[in-house]
């Protein structure tokens, strides 16, 4: 059971962690993954709206998490912990993380929001609607998608801040990164990415909460989603000059999961190269499962796995990716990044089967 104390001293091998923003789906899922993690101890979880027991807000954690929400400031938690997860809304971490990192020379941060994903401060007004208050930290943040070239930067002993990838971005990059790395992403790539209702967060809003999505299907923010700059940025760093991605997110009638389909004109005679690029890129990845032809969300629900399928014919490659938006698209990858940050076995606490139904 995850309890607030007593705590082992620093240097004992136990990672002491606090979660900033624990009432939303990100904080909830982090706790679910961290229950039973042999090396991470959650000491505190903050909320600006809740004061009671965590199990009262997240009933599936009753009997597993013996913590109450606290209003403690992140900068104070930094002095008592080795790690802070920021699971707060966009804009919070950008303001608070620099002070957190200054408060302790050893504390590390994994941010689940988009506040440090883009390298250029000039991109934030158009992408997120506000100027970035801490531009100096953008170049210092490691982009934490281990399977797609992000592993070494997170594992670097000098790394103190990890920008956890967006959920749609994770699926799209997993689909396109092997082709970019192999020099096959020279034409427009089209990606349709369907997400469940939990991708819109815990606060219900018109058009995003489940009653509006049940038995319905629609695209939203076509060609203009905030994850598109993130996708193109990482692909450009992976070997493709000025990648062009037509990204269309869609709202699906299910609770959790993302099914992304990428269609790429790789060129006549390049079909075998495309197949090999995807299969060889992920052959040894512990959380990527190569599946025959197409991936499906049911198989990955509740897990940190990404199922990837690829077919190629007539000069076109079609890569399908299925992830859990709260798992591989958020909390699961965050825990994976912490394992790398603290040089633990990368799979610790994460190899679990989904429900299958």
Q: How many Å apart are CA 194 and CA 325, to the nearest integer? A: 10
Cβ contacts of residue 237 below 8 Å, gap of 6+?
149
CA distances from 170 to 39, 147, 150, 156, 222 (A): 26, 10, 12, 21, 17
Q: 40 - beta bridge partners?
A: 15
Q: Residue 167 catalytic?
A: yes
Q: For residue 57, what is the enclosing H or E element?
A: helix 54-57
DSSP state of 324: -
The rounded distance, in Å, linking the Cα atoms of 264 and 246 is 11
Of all helices (H) and strands (E), which one includes residue 336?
helix 332-341
Return the residue matching tokens 């039973």. 36
* Catalytic member of 148, 167, 250, 318: 167
CA-nearest of 122, 124, 116, 208 to 166 is: 116
Active centre residues (catalytic): 167
């Amino acid at each position: 059971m995850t309890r607030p104390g007593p705590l082992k001293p620093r240097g004992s091998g136990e990672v002491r962690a606090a979660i900033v923003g624990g009432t939303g789906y990100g904080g909830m899922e982090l706790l679910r993954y961290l229950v039973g993690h042999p090396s991470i101890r959650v000491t505190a979880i903050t909320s600006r709206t809740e004061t009671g027991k965590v199990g009262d807000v997240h009933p599936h954690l009753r009997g597993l998490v013996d913590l109450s929400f606290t209003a403690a400031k992140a900068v104070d938690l930094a002095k008592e912990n080795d790690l802070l997860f920021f699971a707060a809304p966009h804009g919070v971490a950008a303001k608070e993380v620099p002070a957190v990192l200054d408060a302790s020379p050893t504390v590390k941060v994994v941010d689940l929001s988009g506040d440090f994903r883009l390298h250029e401060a000039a991109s934030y007004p158009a992408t997120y609607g506000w100027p970035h208050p801490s531009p100096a930290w953008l170049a210092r943040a490691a982009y934490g998608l281990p399977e797609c070239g992000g592993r070494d930067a997170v594992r670097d002993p000098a790394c103190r801040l990890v920008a956890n990838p967006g959920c749609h971005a994770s699926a799209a990059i997993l689909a396109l990164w092997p082709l970019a790395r192999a020099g096959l992403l020279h034409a427009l790539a089209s990606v349709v990415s369907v997400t469940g209702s939990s991708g819109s967060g815990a606060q219900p809003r018109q058009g995003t909460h489940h009653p509006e999505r049940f038995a319905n299907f629609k695209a939203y923010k076509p060609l203009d989603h905030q994850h598109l700059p993130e996708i193109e940025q990482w692909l450009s760093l992976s070997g493709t000059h000025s990648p062009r991605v037509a990204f269309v997110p869609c709202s699906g009638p299910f609770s959790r999961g993302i099914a992304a389909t990428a269609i790429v004109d790789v060129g006549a005679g390049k079909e075998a190269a495309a197949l090999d690029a995807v299969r060889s890129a992920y052959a040894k990845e512990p959380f990527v499962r190569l599946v025959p032809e197409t991936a499906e969300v049911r198989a990955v629900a509740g897990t940190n796995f990404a199922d990837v399928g690829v077919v190629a014919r007539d000069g076109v490659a079609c890569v399908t990716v299925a992830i859990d938006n709260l798992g591989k698209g958020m909390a699961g990858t965050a825990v994976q990044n912490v394992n790398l940050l603290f040089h633990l076995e990368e799979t610790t606490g994460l190899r679990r089967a989904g429900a299958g139904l």
